[in-house]
Structure 1
Amino acid sequence: MKMTHYKARNKVITIGEVYMMATSKGHFRVTQPMTLDFSVKGCEMNVAASLSSLGQDVSHFTIISDDTLGETVLDFMKHRSINTQYVQKTTIPLCICLVEKSVDKAPVKVANSITKSPLETFDWSAVSWKNVFQDAGWLFWSASFVRLQDAAGRLAEILQSAQADTISVVTDLSLVNPGITDFSRDIVTSLIPYSSVVIANVENINMLLETDFGDDTLAFTAACTKLNELYPNITSVFDKVCNGSRCYGRGWVNKRYIQTPEIDIGCIVDDEGTSESFAAGLLYILRFHEEQHALNFAIAAFALQHTVKGDYNEATVNEIIAVLQASRRFQ
């Protein structure tokens, strides 16, 4: 298969919102006396943390509140070895999202404190993008960004500049911040033309294109072909598929279908952070290897993340490779 030639620069840039999630401890309703667990959240930041765990140099662009909560977020990112030099501060309070835990479903939103996104006040003009792009090869954003109408216009300019500098723009349409963002087709449509790599399932593509493709292999290929026809800059689409406790990755690269070996996940502990681990796995390997290798690594990271709790990858490169090698032995 012909390999897509991506820019041979090491650094990855992620752009996205961060917030605090308050979760009821145990399975209490918020109307009951209870204890709350607080955690730092943000899809793109989770991808950055996953990449950092793999040893990748990554910088996250966001804005935090100029108070104790903001400092907590900043300390968290520094602890995860994420470059925070482009993190700005604002007087707008950090969003707090209150959720209830469910036994067999993702946390259910009860309420959030958001009134205006801090990213809408990010001073993009204060950033020397020429310097930022100098040693960067990849820029990542996701569907969690798409509710930010005011910020989306400025992001479009940044993505255009990145594209002109031959930086590979990676978009994940499968990621949203639960309780914070919904899929906004209009905003995604304005940003997706600058992407060369897209992470999406058929449902995501159908929402974007207003189509009704099925979910089998032929339908996935047809959906990706249609996406490429409308947005020719998109040359690669990657997806992860879970069937109970088994999963595999599939992709559409330079008009050809690729697929990974199926992996037996085993005992599923949690599914939070799995999509972020998949995205990070792709970005990590695509820097130096062809797409099939990247997809193989990404689906192994995806599978492994199901066996632990947490919002981002904690596994080492060798641990992920071991999962992939084991899956091949049992094919």
Structure 2
Amino acid sequence: MEFYFGGTEVNVAISIANFGGKVKHVSSISDDFIGDTAKSYLRKFGVSTSSIVRSKRPLGVYFLEVGAVMRPSSISYNRSHSAFSEIQPEMVNWQKSLKKCTWFHWTGITPALCQGGYLTLKEGLKLAQKKGIEVSVDPTYRSGLWKYGAQPKETLSDLLQYCTIFIGGINEMNEILGTDFKYSNEDFIEASQQIIEKFPSIKKTFDKIRTLINASWHKIRSRMWNGSEFRETEDLDITHIVDRIGTGDAFAAGLIYGLQNFDDYKAMEFGAAASALKHTYEGDVNFSNVDEVMNILKGNTSGRFNR
């Protein structure tokens, strides 16, 4: 068995730090040597751990059986009684945590785990909106995590009212809207229009498209709707996948970096290339830097030695 520290927001945080961004992670982890090691892991990449609180409960885990070719991968979660599951709003000083913050990112994993996670996140989002902070969301709907009685549609909808950038696919849109859109570009545009209409603070929607040839060979591209214009990138071929876990987070991190440094289309290209590169790394995190992602955008995909 191999183990890695990770998690959706952690993966995004480390990737943005690798791109040169200043990042802080807000969470609750175990108050033991495993938690100490997790904090050291984050600090190794330059991610601030000053807003992480500690708990007597153990760090949450999940188990992955990696698939190949026609055999799919499988995941089993063990997170119901983790350190994060007891987090409460009074445990996080959001005023301090969001000091000098310009971008707030969250995913649907957080409110799925426990009511405390939902309520704590909501307090942070309300303050972020008050401060005029850009807020991106990746709803990341995982049916196997919603075990404490909350309804995903109502809970996610309550939190989306504070967001400005939506990073999610048709499945997440259907869950939030209660619709049955398909995967075509036309359906994506219509779903995006409904998302923006229902949540007026959201200005743009972005989606990472994955085309599966088999479990080992995928194609990645991105598309967007900004309220008036649809754009789509070209496919990137990934003919041999090392590890696909965290590739959506790599896309989100690349997109967030891109939106702060490029126009929307270049940001999409950057996000898709970052996601494609993540498929070549073991573990949850994309270790690529800006130059390596830009190299892919220049068409250098041969994998030749750099000497």
- Bin for the TM-score computed over the shorter chain: 0.7 to 0.9
SS in structure 2 at match of 1:287:
helix
Matched-pair contact (CA < 8 Å) for 2:238–2:279: yes
Q: Secondary structure at the match of 2:231?
A: strand
Instruction: Give the 3 Å change call, closer, same or farther, for CA 157–218 of structure 1 in structure 2.
Output: same
Report sequence identity in percent: 29
SS in 1 for 2:261: coil
TM-score normalized by structure 1?
0.80
Given that residues 89 and 123 in structure 2 are in contact (C-alpha distance below 8 angstroms), is that contact kept between their aligned partners in structure 1?
Answer: no
Contact 1:108 1:179 in 2 (8 A): no
Among 170, 177, 189, which residue is 1:221 paired with? 189
Q: Does 1:157 align with 2:157?
A: no
| C-alpha distance in 2 between matches for 1:325 and 1:272 | 25
Asked if structure 2 preserves the Cα contact closer than 8 Å seen for 1:262 and 1:327, the reply is no
Q: Aligned pair 1:93/2:58, yes or no?
A: yes
- The yes-or-no answer on 1:184 pairing with 2:152 is yes
1:173 maps to 2:146: no
Listed as ranges, the gaps of 5+ residues in structure 1 are: 1-35
Paired letter, 1:58: V
| C-alpha contact 1:198 1:238 (8 A) present in aligned 2 | yes
CA-to-aligned-CA distance 1:141-164 (integer Å, 9 cap, x gap)? 001112222331232122011011
| Alpha carbons 2:88, 2:117 under 8 Å: kept | no
Moved more, 181-190 or 62-71: 181-190
Letter in 1 for 2:37: T
Letter in 2 for 1:289: F
Structure 1 residue 91 displacement after superposition: 1.4
Aligned to 2:265: 292
Distance 1:72 1:296 in 2: 34
For structure 1, which segment, 197-206 or 253-262, has the greater mean C-alpha deviation from structure 2 after superposition?
Answer: 253-262
Distance 2:270 2:126 in 1: 29
- Normalising by structure 2, what TM-score? 0.86
Map residues 1-331 of structure 1 onto 2, 5 A cutoff: 36-103=1-68, 104-109=71-76, 112=78, 114-122=79-87, 124-125=89-90, 127-147=92-112, 148-174=114-140, 180=145, 184-243=152-211, 244=213, 245-326=218-299
Distance 1:262 1:214, change over 3 A: same
Assess, with a 3 A threshold, how the Cα gap between structure 1 residues 67 and 124 changes in structure 2: closer, same or farther. same
**Residues 128, 100 of structure 1: CA spacing in aligned structure 2 closer, same or farther, 3 A cutoff?**
closer
Cα deviation, 1:154-212, whole Å, max 9, x if unaligned, reads 32122011011110111002365x96568822221111111110111111101111101
> In the alignment, residue 282 of structure 2 is paired with which amino acid?
K
Q: 1: CA distance between counterparts of 2:296 and 2:83?
A: 39
TM-superposed CA distance for 1:228, in Å, is 0.9
Per the alignment, residue 305 of structure 2 pairs with none
Deviation readout 1:6-47 (Å, 9 max, x if unpaired): xxxxxxxxxxxxxxxxxxxxxxxxxxxxxx333223111111
Tell me how far 1:261 sits from its aligned partner: 2.4
Q: Deviations over 1:229-287 (max 9, x none)?
A: 11111111101112233221100113321111222233332211211110100111212
Q: Number of paired residues?
A: 290
1:90 to partner: Cα distance: 1.3
- Give the superposed CA RMSD: 2.3
Q: How far off is 1:124 after superposition? A: 4.2
Greater mean deviation of Cα atoms: 276-285 or 120-129 = 120-129
Structure 2 runs not aligned, ≥5 long: 302-307
Secondary structure in structure 2 of the residue aligned to 1:62? strand
SS in 2 for 1:250: strand
Contact 1:59 1:84 in 2 (8 A): yes
